[in-house]
Structure formats: C-alpha cells, structure tokens
Structure 1
Amino acid sequence: MLSIEAEIFIKRFLTFLYLSKRDWVLASTWPHFTLLGQSLGSMILAWDAFSLLVPDIFVDTMGYAFALGLCKLLFRNVPTGAYVHYPTISTDMLKSLDPTSSVGSQGVNAGQGTGTRGKAKRIYWQLFARLYSWVGSSINVVMTNSTWTQAHIQSLWGPYRRSKRTAHPIAVVYPPVAVREIEQEVEVSEASEKKREQVLVYIAQFLSSIGLKAVY
C-alpha cells in the first residue's frame, strides 16, 4: 500500500465570500416538492455567489449539482468539479416506492408507490432523477467519497456522461483520516499481533430513509 503525506501551503491570501440566499436551500423552505425546490434553491444561491465573483474553476462539495449546471450555462468554459458525499436522489430511493422490491419495506417512503398519490410521487421522482442525471453529465470532474456513492452516481449519471467524450471517469477519493495519534496510542508489533483478538469494529451511517440496515 502506498502511503503519501502532503502539506498544502496557500501562498496567496484566502478570501471568504458570504452569501445571503442560504434559506433557499433549506428543506423547511420547501415543504412540498422538496428535492426539486432545494435544487432550484441551490441555483439561486449560486447566482448569489456569481454576482460577487466569476470563478476560474468551480468546485462543489455540498451536493448542489444544479449549481454546477448553472455555472456551465453561464460560463461554458469554466471547468467544474463535484465531490459527492451523498446523491440527492438514489436508486434505492426509487426502488423503495415499490412494495415488491427488496427495499420496498424500508425507509420513510417504503412501499408508497401505489395508488394515485403514490404513482404521482413515483413519476415525480423518476423525472427528477433524469433531470439530476442530465445536470450531472455537464460536470467535468466527478469524485465521490465512497464506493457506495460512486455506484449510485455511476448508475444515475454514468449513461448520460458516457455520451460525452470529454467526461472523466467517476473516481473515488476517500476523505483523509489522521492515524498518527492512533499509531502512537496503540501498540502494533510482532508481540501485539500474537495477542490480537478477532474483534470487528464497524462504524457507519445508517439512515432509515434509504433503507440501510445495521450489521450485527
């Protein structure tokens, strides 16, 4: 395994620009059609940012894909990048509406794709997923924080991105984790390895809304 440690020094000054349109991306602002509303709100927030500064490179780490789409619309030659922690809509969410699917009994929307209201919700989510995928196809460089996120983004954005020759592959960039203090506190030697117990520590995020189950 290759271990690389690097320090980045910012020689030039760093300036923070404060935005005033944050309310537009809050879920409470959009009690109905929340996914679409927050996505449109991110474009308003991006417009607020662009009115203060026209970027040379625009990178989003908040999950605002539609803000990146607006950047491409306004500034076609500006390179864009996305570091995705969690997709706005996932294939698991779409499947959860179907009571007969493997995840149809999980999450807050489990099995709600039946009836008139359920069918309308299914159509709304499917249309939004297509719009989300189309916007994602315009981003130059896409990175995810895990293989789980990569698989979902690849499933949604991949088909749209493959039609564009300039699109880069969706890469996984794991968040940096400092282990130096742990190495100092925990002995790792030939003697300690002989006394090692078969113990598994599993740390993860489990969200009922997407139907993830705990591992026992």
Structure 2
Amino acid sequence: MLWLLWLLLPTFALYVWKKRNEYSRRRYCSVLDGTDDGDRLPKCIVTVGIFHPYANGGGGGERVLYCFLESLIEHFLVNRSHQHLRIVLYTGDDRIDKHELIQKAASRFNLPQLNKVEQHLHLVILRNRELLEPSRYPRFTLLCQSIAHIRVARHAFRQGERAGYFPQYWVDTTGCPFSYPVAKYFYGCKVIAYVHYPMISSDMTERVRNRCAEFNNDATIANSSLRSNCKYAYYRMFSWIYYTAGCCTDRVMVNSTWTYEHIFHMWRIKADIVYPPCGDMAYVTDNNIERKPWILSISQFRPEKNQLLQLQAMRWLLRNYKDEIHQEFPTIKLVLLGSCRNEEDVNRVEMLKGKAKEYGIAENVDFIVNASFQKLTYYLQNCTVGIHTMCKEHFGIGIVEMMAAGLIVIAHNSGGPAFDIIQEGAGYLADTVEEYGQHVYNILRTPTLKLAEMQQLSAASVKRRFSDAQFRQKLLAVWESII
C-alpha cells in the first residue's frame, strides 16, 4: 500500500499543478476589461470571490457580508478608479435574484447605500449547498463538514468558470475553512478569512475531555469513558487538520478578542481584530420615554443560542416574584426576535413555543421570526431589558444593537460579551437561570434616574466602538495591505 501512496501523491500534485496553471492562464486572459468607459486604456479587472452560501440570512454574519461589499465598492470607486471591481458572490439562494437579494439586505440591515453594490455584483448559485448542513452528519460532523467544504468550494469554482469568473481573491465570510486549500492550491487565489467562530476550539476539546454534556457533545458520549476518549482523540486529530487549513490563509480577520485567542491557539496566526459593523445606531431615542416591562432577545434560532434558558429564566421570575410582578409589571413580556435559516430552525421555534406552553408562560412570550428593520426598531425603542444566553458567544451583534438602543442587557459571562462588549456599569453578566431571572427583576425595579444613567452609559460605550464607520476603517486598512 505504501508504494501505491508514493505513486498517487506525485500524480495528484501534477494534477493540481496543471489545474492551477490552466486556471491562471484563463484568469490572465480575463483581467482586461474591453469596455474602457471613455478612457484611452481599458481598465484592469479585480475579481473578488466571496463565499457565503447563506447570503439571504438575517444574522450578524450577513450584516458583515453586506457592509463588506458596500465598503469595498465605495473604496474602489473613490481610491482605485483605474481598476474595475467585480465581486462574485457564491451563494446557495437560488430562489432569489440579485436585485431582490440586495433590496432585502438593504431593508433588513438598514443599509440604503447597498444599492450601489448591484452593478458590481455577480451571483454564482451553489446547487449543492445542502452538503454544508450539519444535520446531515449525526456522527463525525466536523470531518464530514470539512469534506463538504471542499466539495462545495470546487463546485463554486466550476460554476464560476462556466460563467466566465476567475477571482484573484477568495474571501470567506461564513466559516468554511476547508475551502481555503481549494482556493489556494487548485486555483491560485489569495485567501482572506473573516472568522466569526473557530470550527474547533480548545474549549470544545476540554469539554469532551472532562465529559461535559452539551449541544455538541451528546450525553451518551459524555457518560461513557471509552467514547469520550475516542472523541477526544478524534478532536485532537481534527485540530491538526484545521491547523493545515488555517495555514492556507494570506490574511485573517476575527470579530472579537475571544475569537482572536482561539484562532491564535489553533492556527498560530496573529489575526486582525475587526469588530462587526453594528449599525450607526440611528434607532437610539430619547431615554426619558417610558418603556414597557418587556425583555428582548435578538438572535438566530440556532441550538447554541440557547433560547430555552431564556424561557426558563422567565418561568423562574414569574414563580419567584409572582405577586410583585402581578402588581408592578402586569404587562411583562419576553420577546424572542430572530431569523430562521432552514427547516431545522423553524422546527426549533415550534419546540420553544411548546416549551413556553409547558412552563405556563405562553401568554408572556412572543416569537417574532424574520422581522423587518422597522419591527426590530419598534422593539428596541419599547423594551427595557435585553437578554442573551449563548455560552462562549464569539461576539454578539444583537447585544450591541440592544445596548445602543438603551436597553440594559444581561449576557452570558463568557466569550465576546464578557471580553469586549459589557463594560462595568453598562450591563450584567450571568451564568444560571436564577442569575438571569434576578437581574431582570432588579433592572425592572431600578429607579428611573439610575436606569437613565445606565442606558446612556450603555449606548455611549457601544456607539464609540462598534459603528459601521469603525468597521470600514479597519477593514479597508487590512484590505489595502493585501491588494
């Protein structure tokens, strides 16, 4: 078998070399734009491929994507007029055209300038996007998803070739690291990664080693010493494979201090911390208006967001302060506002609704799915408390949005919220159901003047650090160093 391996390796290397040379030749032939727009010389085309299979989503990752597009195009129009920018967006959203995609994103994320993007944007539809769904792989999920990254990335380049697109730059804004070696070695692209969350981290490995049951470590494995040891070995092996993928990057940006530390640990790369764009806080209103005793949650309906803990905290609050709540805050309500990416997320919403009924709090809980920016603004202006329950959240754009609007936020005492967002006096951190419930009650009973001070401090702290302008400035500084 060893002789066969030695035979296959140079054969594969020769195939990669020939493929890359052929692709480079075709790309070179496409870099001159035949339409000179009145100039004497044709413009050089810079083609940027952006890999974002779920571009029609409504989460923080999609806001990063569209602010990235907007910033890049504006920069080229102003500072690189001698070049023609062509952006190729690889997405699996085949039921929506380019115009509708841009219009929905502009409305959803309050980005009116996004309309400038359309003439520079070209869509390549990924027909095999479903391969990326983790629900397809109940066992060896990470390894199977890695293979899926490779298959979908190869498919993306082939689809792009048929349409005449040959990117010089491959930008991943969604978290598919095993597309990097495909782009780097098969197609000779420079690889830029914006990492929201490491695919595997030392925290995950330690949880398996310590046999802690969580959403990504099944109780049947955690309860078995043999299975835990096997999974630990598997995670260690995968960590090395993940490291090799990270070595294929030319530049890495991360969204928080927490992500930076984990990426440095896994890839041994010093990344650039570029905080996500959280809007220009246009919805911030006069904090003296009377808000309702409503608790707002903003997050996608994914298992790691742990909205179940929010329902449990609400149940604890209504049980332990039943009389006080009835007398002082009879209209108390928990509002779960978020987006659904697929059928699995829709089913999770139905499960949460069932749990609310089971806990006897259904009348005090509202579910708002795939809300418009106008509806989001309404709740940001009327709620008093913000709640976020994901453990080891990488950043938390929803937290920033709530703080900017004057809500007092209670977030999990870990990850980005603890490291980067919640500052002393501008919010609370919690771990347990009891802590969340108690903080909610304390905030609702805070005197009006004290509450107004906290709201102003909260809004000022995030507006200064996490605006769209700050994102553009840091992003373009990184981009100029690459191009």
TM over 0.5: yes
Query: Is residue 2:44 matched to residue 1:44?
Result: no
What residue is the counterpart of 1:186 in the other structure? 286
Residues 203 and 17 from structure 1, CA distance in 2 versus in 1: closer, same or farther, beyond 3 angstroms?
Answer: same
* Residue 88 of structure 1: how far off its partner (Å): 0.7
Q: Which residue identity is paired with 1:152?
A: H
Counterpart of 1:127 (choices 223, 237, 255) is: 237
SS at match of 2:194: strand
**2-structure distance, mates of 1:46, 1:120:** 30
**2-structure distance, mates of 1:55, 1:145:** 25
Query: 1:43-100: CA deviations, max 9, x gaps?
Result: 1110111002232110001110000121112023x2111111111111100011223x
Residues 152 and 202 from structure 1, CA distance in 2 versus in 1: closer, same or farther, beyond 3 angstroms?
Answer: farther
Residues 113 and 42 from structure 1, CA distance in 2 versus in 1: closer, same or farther, beyond 3 angstroms?
Answer: farther
Residues 170 and 16 from structure 1, CA distance in 2 versus in 1: closer, same or farther, beyond 3 angstroms?
Answer: same
Retained in 1: the 8 A contact 2:213–2:222? Answer: no
Residues 25 and 11 from structure 1, CA distance in 2 versus in 1: closer, same or farther, beyond 3 angstroms?
Answer: closer
Superposition map of 1:10-29 within 5 A:
10=117, 12-29=119-136
RCO (CA 8 Å, sep 6+): is it higher in 1 or 2? 1
Counterpart of 2:172 (choices 52, 55, 60) is: 60
Q: TM-score, normalised by structure 1?
A: 0.73
Query: 1:117-168: CA deviations, max 9, x gaps?
Result: 221111111000110011101101111111111111111001xx4xxxxxxx
Counterpart of 2:260 (choices 150, 164, 186) is: 150
Which has more helix, going by share of residues?
2
SS at match of 1:52: helix
**2-structure distance, mates of 1:147, 1:52:** 36
Structure 1 unpaired stretches of 5+: 1-5, 162-168, 189-200
**2-structure distance, mates of 1:212, 1:39:** 30
**1-structure distance, mates of 2:243, 2:224:** 25
Structure 2 unpaired stretches of 5+: 1-69, 75-115, 161-165, 289-384, 395-411, 415-428, 436-483
What RMSD, in angstroms, separates the aligned Cα atoms of the two structures?
3.1
The structure that has the greater radius of gyration is: 2
* Residue 13 of structure 1: how far off its partner (Å): 2.8
Residues 137 and 203 from structure 1, CA distance in 2 versus in 1: closer, same or farther, beyond 3 angstroms?
Answer: farther
SS at match of 2:249: coil
Which has more strand, going by share of residues?
2
Counterpart of 1:139 (choices 249, 271, 274) is: 249
What residue is the counterpart of 1:33 in the other structure? 140
**1-structure distance, mates of 2:413, 2:223:** 19
* Residue 113 of structure 1: how far off its partner (Å): 8.7
Retained in 2: the 8 A contact 1:97–1:113? Answer: no
**1-structure distance, mates of 2:133, 2:182:** 19
* Residue 18 of structure 1: how far off its partner (Å): 0.6
* Residue 42 of structure 1: how far off its partner (Å): 1.0
Retained in 2: the 8 A contact 1:150–1:172? Answer: yes
Retained in 2: the 8 A contact 1:82–1:141? Answer: yes
Q: Give me the identity figure in percent.
A: 30
* Residue 204 of structure 1: how far off its partner (Å): 4.4
Counterpart of 1:177 (choices 278, 282, 294) is: 278
Q: Which residue identity is paired with 1:20?
A: R
Residues 87 and 171 from structure 1, CA distance in 2 versus in 1: closer, same or farther, beyond 3 angstroms?
Answer: same
Query: Is residue 2:181 matched to residue 1:69?
Result: yes
What residue is the counterpart of 2:77 in the other structure? none
